[in-house]
Structure 1
């Protein structure tokens, strides 16, 4: 199982913008520039930017001087924020699958599997919450 590539791409987009800010670039960065620099298809970059905008992580402006920039400092954006932007709080693991097995033992097993996957998701989210975008691009 793999998580969507767009999560990694969204992280790359936010880090790219953060690095540009750190280098003194304070204008908006075009989505076209982002897509080209990161090797992301322009339609995919547009969808990622839309998700990040809805989540309040970036802001956009239309027009010749338009583009995208961070809505808050990179120290205030965690990897969990980026995950939530794309996944919109959907669970990472689906545990609601139905099958023909019923009764005590299958139900206990199903609950145990669901609980273990929930714990794994909680641990992953805690790790992501502890890492900011600034942690990724500073002191490299």
Structure 2
């Protein structure tokens, strides 16, 4: 199973907001500008930003001078934070358990598959937790 591009889009959006805020003293950025500059369709940008807002990684302000700002510095946001924001509640691996075969051996194999995939998911989460967005800046 492959994830959507939402993780890389979320990372790009946060890095872009950071870069612009550094240059222009924390002006709120419009979703339209973010969409155009990062070449992400507006509906996708809106969805990703909504998830980032829900996770309190960004702050949204309505109105003429509204837009998006980072809620925290990049040094406090990990790749895992972004992943959990843009892929909320999704299991990393979907396990096929609807098999006709039955018995102790089948159950043992299914359990071994589940255990192996769970270990891989934990390893991925640990790795994402180790990298802060500031680490991605040049």
Alignment gaps of 5+ in structure 1:
none
Offset at residue 8 of structure 1 (A): 1.2
Report the counterpart of residue 48 of structure 2 in structure 1. Answer: 48
**Alignment correspondent of 1:95:** 95
2:18–2:74 Cα contact (<8 Å) kept: yes
- The answer to whether the aligner puts 1:29 opposite 2:29 as a matched pair is yes
Aligned length: 138
Task: Give 1:12's aligned residue.
Answer: 12
- Distance in 1 between residues matched to 2:65 and 2:97, nearest whole Å: 49
Do the aligned residues in 1 keep the contact of 2:6 with 2:87 (CA within 8 Å)? no
Task: Report deviation, 1:24.
Answer: 4.4
**Which is further off, 4-13 or 53-62?**
4-13
In structure 2, how many angstroms separate the alpha carbons of the residues matched to 1:133 and 1:36? 22
Unaligned runs of 5+ in 2: none
Cα separation, 2, equivalents of 1:80 and 1:3: 14
- Name 1:86's counterpart in structure 2: 86
Residue 108 of structure 1: aligned partner:
108
RMSD in angstroms over aligned alpha carbons? Answer: 1.3
C-alpha distance in 1 between matches for 2:71 and 2:14: 10
Please tell me whether residue 63 in structure 1 is matched to residue 63 in structure 2: yes
Distance 2:116 2:62 in 1: 45
Aligned pair in 2 of structure 1 residues 24, 134: CA closer, same or farther (>3 Å)? farther
